[in-house]
Amino acid sequence: MPQPIRLKDHEKDARLIRKRALVGGVVFLVLTLVLMARMYYLQVIQYEYHSTLAENNRIHVQPIPPNRGLIYDRNGVIIADNRPSFSLTLTRERAGDWEQVLDVIVEVLELTPDDRELFERRVKQGRRPFEPVPVLFELSEEQIARLAVNQFRLPGVEVVAQLVRHYPQREHFAHSVGYVGRINERELKQLDPVEYSGTHHIGKTGIERFYEDELHGKVGYEEVETNARGRVLRVLNRTDPLPGRDVMLTLDVHLQEVAEKALGGRRGAVVAIQPQTGEVLAMVSQPSFDPNPFVTGISFKAYAELRDSIDRPLYNRVLRGLYPPGSTIKPMVAVAGLDAGVVTPSSRVFDPGFYQLPNNSHKYRNWNRTGDGWVDLNMAIMRSNDTYFYDLAHKMGIDRLHDYMSRFGIGQRVSLDMFEETAGLMPSREWKRARYRQPWYPGETLILGIGQGYMQATPLQLAQATALVATKGKWIRPHLARTIDGSQPHDPDPIPDIVLRDPKYWDYARQGMEAVMHGARGTARKVGDAAAYRIAGKSGTAQVVAIKQGEKYDRSKVQERHRDHALFVGFAPADNPQIVVSVMVENGESGSGVGAPVVKQVMDAWLLDENGQLKAEYATPGATAPLNAEVKQP
Amino acid sequence: MSLIGSFDRTLSSDDVLRRRSSLLQRLHIDGILLLLLLLLATGSLFVLYSASGKNVDLLMKQASSFGIGLVAMVVIAQFEPRFMARWVPLGYLCGVGLLVVVDVMGHNAMGATRWINIPGVIRFQPSEFMKILMPATIAWYLSKRTLPPSLKHVSVSLGLIVTPFVLILLQPDLGTSLLILASGAFVLFMAGLQWRWIAGAVAAIVPIAVAMWFFVLHDYQKRRVLTFINPESDPLGAGWNIIQSKAAIGSGGVFGKGWLLGTQSHLDFLPESHTDFIIAVLAEEFGLIGVCLLLLLYILLIARGLVITVQAQTLFGKLLAGGLTMTFFVYVFINIGMVSGLLPVVGVPLPFISYGGTSLITLLSSFGILMSIHTHRKWIAQA
């Protein structure tokens, strides 16, 4: 008879494990009873409740999309709101053969095969089961009537009222506020699927894109009971959505219109900034386009027309247009030269009409072929003398010039909240080595001094650089949102102010710019003479086609589209700056002739009262105090 | 059939003689377990046919997985537990290594991955292996020590448990990682982990959780935890399934609507109705009676597992059998609790019923181990 085996400690271990197994068994039995009790609760006690819900009716959870936040201008004029509009929705699960239903829709509404293809794509973008997908927006009365008559042939098709984004100002703010459009597949992957479960649109450009999170709001939902055909019978439970936050812009609808009119139908850009606050008062890129069709889905043909137009209406010239800043950069270069100590306010350069580097025959020409003679800093800005600035740039060298101009925002994104701003370019030795695998040549520094060469800036950057002269180096990123639901936007990455060795250097640059407008030989004195206040300004020309050495720019020979772009920057009143304006007129040729009048019109609209007098609040504190004089408070 | 009443029975010579004559005994198969498993499998195919919307392909796949699983079970049952114990440490190391590989690859692919995939050769989830290897490792480790385990041995065991737990948590796969944590912890429990330590651990978790809540977690993390605990607060996301599954279960009533006649689970697109949420289909079509029958089958399986635990002759066998049986119960409890809205939603399939080949094969393998532990006893007895 074999004995049951005994291992060491086996009996004690076995007893222990037996006890534990017993405890486990009892616990499991109790837990199983809990499960059974739960099932009993659901299936017996709550049976009536659940079976009525399930009998013919079904419960659905429907998301309620939040109302998108509104967008106002600085005075409360609506720029973007939501309008009720009738849309046609299709619920795939209820439609049976949904492709056939689409055929019927196209037949009933007499649409084209292209539309049908678009519908099909939209239906396929549906995300959840039993989601009514909008396929056609802005139904007309007639279309609704036709659909109603054919309702029996259209299972799963409904006409619903939805709030759709609308831009009452149409093309005026297409480039600053942007627009919303249907969520595409790429965006869908990055979105919070719950927050956007009821939403079909998302900000695509501009403010709509940049403040998408704020404008969107929080989704709500309702638990509804529907019959077998999907009609909602009653709402069981509802959680309201939280509407998106309203955005009040810094833009002024009136000033925007004035700026557009001032351009007089020419292609170009205008930016107006309040220098003390960084608030953008007007932002014009002409020609523009009506953003409303983009919301409901622009037709392919209409889009192609916009896209392929030679005038490029979709192109945001303010934020993405890159131009050599030309002479508009000279006041900033002058400030840099003073601070670096390579020039003084009284140091002079002789201008024979050109500048030559030692041991080099190449002549860097002044725009005025006959030369201006002996030129000091004030004269150099007033006359926009190229020779003076060739000399200044040569003395500074590329490295210092690059550092100073970068601090003025050239070559970096300056705005706080503008979508897709281009950084522009401020070249340096490193940049050239990386880009062209070439060393830096001294001649390239010279032409940077007059804003030509590799340097490229947007009209917004030029406005900001000018604003820095107006505010004496105080950096506030230009921004479009004044308040979001009452609170001001916060700059997470502020740029340090420009601090000069002597703050008076700012005044020399400003005085030069005033001389441009009001000096006897100022380049824009015609505009300055007519102004009711002192303007500090500077013209510039951005070359479109390079001119060969020794060749003269002859406007009659150059095709209209190859003419130079006219630039003008300025601020006013000169001694109490309230507004900075930067203008670019495509193929406008003359900065002072074409750009300056636009600048003045914008300034007039902002600064003058109805009698054509400077508004009292913009008057200079302590009258026109001369430079260096102490202002005595009464 | 003495299932539960024979906890303290020791093997007599009569038993040995009787069992040796049995064919099943010679094949190392436990008749009771086999019977219960076959019953579950048959039932599962019926439910799956309905839940998948009469998808025959799916049914065939599940049936063949079941066949493969049964073969794996029988093969595993042939190995002696002692032989298995020898290979456990190596298996554990390999398993952890593979988990690391999966984590690293997953991160490189910028997304969650749980699979090792050598195209054309093999494709599997290392975390599935861990479901068996985890209790086996702890059983192997503790069976060489004196029971109840000392603080040092408990600490080492916890280290062995936490390593794969964290690796799987990182995949991220919360459901599986919790199951693996539980499977290791159950072995510790079986090994006689002292009650006051268990109480101490529970007592320590509560203040830590409270402190985390107030001082560590951000608001959005708190919201996530709240939705996790109460999915119905998020009816568009996790709550959708629960609302639908509760309606499906509730409308089944006592007797159910009949096979293939469920409406909620079919028409209304209960997501994952043939995987994690399959019990809702069963409850709707077969009612409370169907659910209770299923629970009865599970309870019988678990009771048989506990009998095998008690009757096992080696400490390794006892600990492993106990750990596997208890983990099996956790599967059942978490899944049904989650679908019926008692527990948070964690991705845990219902054993033998949910569609899914990998988990089926793993489960049957673990029952193969139980059979091996039970049917190899007489060799030890005769030695």
If one counts every other C-beta atom within 10 angstroms of the C-beta of residue B122, the result is 8
pLDDT tens digit sequence for A5-44 = 444 567 788 888 899 999 999 999 999 999 999 999 999 9
Cβ-Cβ contacts under 8 Å for B301 (sequence gap 6 or more): B33, B36, B37, B40, B328
Of A194-198, A303-307, A589-593, B110-114, least confident by mean pLDDT is B110-114
Cβ–Cβ below 8 Å for B288 and A40? yes
Q: Of all residues in chain B, what percent carry a pLDDT higher than 90?
A: 34
Q: Indicate if the pLDDT at residue A605 is higher than 80.
A: yes
**Nearest to residue A518, comparing CAs of A528, A533, A530?**
A528
Tell me the pTM: 0.63
Give the domain ranges of chain B: 13-382
Cβ–Cβ below 8 Å for A5 and B381? yes
CA–CA separation, B305 and B331 (whole Å): 15
- Of B101 and A509, more confident: A509
Residue A479 has φ and ψ, to the nearest 5°, of -145, 160
CA atoms within 13 A on the CB side of A6: 4
Rounded average pLDDT over A184-207: 84
Q: Indicate if the pLDDT at residue B90 is higher than 90.
A: yes
Residue A103 is predicted with a pLDDT of 87
- Helices then strands (H, E): number in chain A? 22, 20
ipTM: 0.87
Residue A22 is predicted with a pLDDT of 93
Q: Indicate if the pLDDT at residue A622 is higher than 60.
A: no
CA–CA separation, A154 and A98 (whole Å): 9
β partners of residue A163 = A84
If one counts every other C-beta atom within 10 angstroms of the C-beta of residue B159, the result is 9
Residue A565 has φ and ψ, to the nearest 5°, of -85, 135
In contact, A249 and B263? CB cutoff 8 Å: no
Integer angstrom CA distances of residue A518 from A383, A389, A523, B99, B333: 12, 21, 9, 78, 88
- Confidence tier at A129 by pLDDT (50, 70, 90): low
Residue A267 is predicted with a pLDDT of 92
Residue type, A469: V
- Collapsed DSSP state (helix, strand, coil) of residue B107: helix
- Confidence tier at B263 by pLDDT (50, 70, 90): confident
Residue type, A412: Q
pLDDT tens digit sequence for A507-565 = 999 999 999 999 888 888 888 888 889 999 999 888 876 655 555 566 665 677 778 88
**Nearest to residue A498, comparing CAs of A633, A384, A338, A304?**
A338
- Of A43 and B239, more confident: A43
β partners of residue A90 = A133, A157
pLDDT tens digit sequence for A378-413 = 999 998 899 999 999 999 999 999 999 999 999 999
The pair of three-digit structure tokens given for residue A451, joined into one six-digit string: 């804003």
Residue B110 is predicted with a pLDDT of 39
- Confidence tier at B9 by pLDDT (50, 70, 90): low
Residue B1 is predicted with a pLDDT of 43
Cβ–Cβ below 8 Å for B322 and A21? yes
Q: Of all residues in chain A, what percent carry a pLDDT higher than 70?
A: 91
Residue A81 is predicted with a pLDDT of 92
Residue from A176, A285, A327, A539 carrying the catalytic annotation: A327
Chain B partners of A28 at a C-beta cutoff of 8 Å? 299, 302, 326, 329, 333
CA atoms within 13 A on the CB side of A200: 23
Distance from CA of B290 to the nearest CA of A (A): 11
Angle between helix A504-518 and helix A459-470 axes, rounded to 10 deg: 120
The pair of three-digit structure tokens given for residue A73, joined into one six-digit string: 């201008």
In contact, A599 and A583? CB cutoff 8 Å: yes
Rounded average pLDDT over B311-328: 91
Element (H, E) at A201: strand A201-203
Q: What is the DSSP string of B284-334?
A: HHHHHHHHHHHHHHHHHHHHHHHHHHHH-SSHHHHHHHHHHHHHHHHHHHH
CA–CA separation, A516 and A378 (whole Å): 9
Residue B341 is predicted with a pLDDT of 85
Q: Indicate if the pLDDT at residue A441 is higher than 50.
A: yes
Residue B116 has φ and ψ, to the nearest 5°, of -100, 125
Residue A40 is predicted with a pLDDT of 93
pLDDT tens digit sequence for A240-285 = 899 999 999 999 999 999 999 999 889 999 999 999 999 999 999 9
Spell out the alpha helix ranges (H) of B144-173: 151-169
Cis upstream peptide for A324 (omega within 30°): no
- By DSSP bridging, strand B116-118 and strand B122-124 are antiparallel
Show the CA angle centred on residue A474, arms to residues A470 and A475, nearest 5°. 110
- By DSSP bridging, strand A71-72 and strand A78-91 are antiparallel
Identify which of B16, B235, B263 has the shortest CB distance to residue A223: B235
In contact, B367 and B37? CB cutoff 8 Å: yes
If one counts every other C-beta atom within 10 angstroms of the C-beta of residue B267, the result is 12
Rounded average pLDDT over A211-229: 82
The pair of three-digit structure tokens given for residue B374, joined into one six-digit string: 């039970």
β partners of residue A242 = A218
Rounded average pLDDT over B118-124: 58
CA atoms within 13 A on the CB side of A419: 16
- Of A220 and A189, more confident: A220
Q: What is the DSSP string of A277-335?
A: TTEEEEEEEES---SHHHHH---HHHHHHHHH-TT-TT--HHHH--B--GGGGHHHHHH
Q: How much helix, strand and coil, in percent to the nearest 5, is found in chain A?
A: 40, 20, 40
Residue A291 is predicted with a pLDDT of 93
User: Structural domains in chain A?
Assistant: 61-249 (3.90.1310.10), 253-618 (3.40.710.10)
- Collapsed DSSP state (helix, strand, coil) of residue A564: coil
Distance from CA of B30 to the nearest CA of A (A): 20
**Nearest to residue A41, comparing CAs of B147, B291, B60?**
B291
Q: Indicate if the pLDDT at residue B152 is higher than 60.
A: yes
Distance from CA of B45 to the nearest CA of A (A): 22
Residue B2 is predicted with a pLDDT of 47
Cβ–Cβ below 8 Å for B337 and A38? yes
Chain A partners of B341 at a C-beta cutoff of 8 Å? 38
User: For chain B, what is the mean pLDDT?
Assistant: 82
- By DSSP bridging, strand A232-239 and strand A247-249 are unpaired
**Using the 8-state DSSP alphabet, how is residue A43 labeled?**
I
Q: Is A327 a catalytic residue?
A: yes
Cβ-Cβ contacts under 8 Å for A114 (sequence gap 6 or more): A299, A300
CA–CA separation, A158 and A151 (whole Å): 9
Rounded average pLDDT over A489-505: 90
CA–CA separation, A233 and A222 (whole Å): 12
Residue B378 is predicted with a pLDDT of 59
**Nearest to residue A107, comparing CAs of A94, A98, A116?**
A116
Distance from CA of A188 to the nearest CA of B (A): 16
Alpha-carbon Rg for chain B in angstroms: 22
Q: Indicate if the pLDDT at residue A628 is higher than 60.
A: no
The pair of three-digit structure tokens given for residue B82, joined into one six-digit string: 């002692």
Residue B272 is predicted with a pLDDT of 66
Interface of A with B in 66-105 (CB under 8 A): 93
The pair of three-digit structure tokens given for residue A288, joined into one six-digit string: 């523009």
Integer angstrom CA distances of residue B7 from A357, A579, B3: 106, 93, 8
The pair of three-digit structure tokens given for residue A254, joined into one six-digit string: 């009136």
Cβ–Cβ below 8 Å for A39 and B288? yes
β partners of residue A374 = A350
The pair of three-digit structure tokens given for residue A391, joined into one six-digit string: 């000399």
Of A223-232, B43-52, B121-130, least confident by mean pLDDT is A223-232
Residue A568 has φ and ψ, to the nearest 5°, of -155, 135
Residue A301 is predicted with a pLDDT of 85
Identify which of A20, A24, A49 has the shortest CB distance to residue B192: A20
Q: Indicate if the pLDDT at residue B305 is higher than 50.
A: yes
Interface of A with B in 43-62 (CB under 8 A): 43-44, 46-47, 49-51, 53-55, 58-59, 61
Cβ–Cβ below 8 Å for B147 and A16? yes
Rounded average pLDDT over A427-450: 90
Residue A248 has φ and ψ, to the nearest 5°, of -100, 125
pLDDT tens digit sequence for A314-355 = 999 999 999 999 999 999 999 999 999 999 999 999 998 889
- Confidence tier at B139 by pLDDT (50, 70, 90): very high
β partners of residue A60 = A224
pLDDT tens digit sequence for B26-52 = 788 888 999 999 999 999 999 988 888
Element (H, E) at B117: strand B116-118
Cβ–Cβ below 8 Å for B236 and A28? no
Of A113-122, A162-171, B37-46, least confident by mean pLDDT is A113-122
Chain A partners of B340 at a C-beta cutoff of 8 Å? 35, 38-39, 42
- Collapsed DSSP state (helix, strand, coil) of residue A238: strand
Q: Indicate if the pLDDT at residue A621 is higher than 70.
A: no
Q: Indicate if the pLDDT at residue B171 is higher than 80.
A: no
CA–CA separation, B172 and B103 (whole Å): 9
Of A258-262, A429-433, A456-460, B196-200, least confident by mean pLDDT is B196-200
User: For chain A, what is the mean pLDDT?
Assistant: 86
Q: Indicate if the pLDDT at residue A462 is higher than 50.
A: yes
Cβ–Cβ below 8 Å for A35 and B340? yes
CA–CA separation, B11 and B313 (whole Å): 10
- Confidence tier at B71 by pLDDT (50, 70, 90): very high
- By DSSP bridging, strand A71-72 and strand A247-249 are parallel
Residue B265 is predicted with a pLDDT of 60
CA–CA separation, A569 and A323 (whole Å): 14
Cβ-Cβ contacts under 8 Å for A155 (sequence gap 6 or more): A94, A95, A96, A101, A229
Rounded average pLDDT over B208-224: 75
**Using the 8-state DSSP alphabet, how is residue A542 labeled?**
E
Q: Indicate if the pLDDT at residue B19 is higher than 60.
A: no
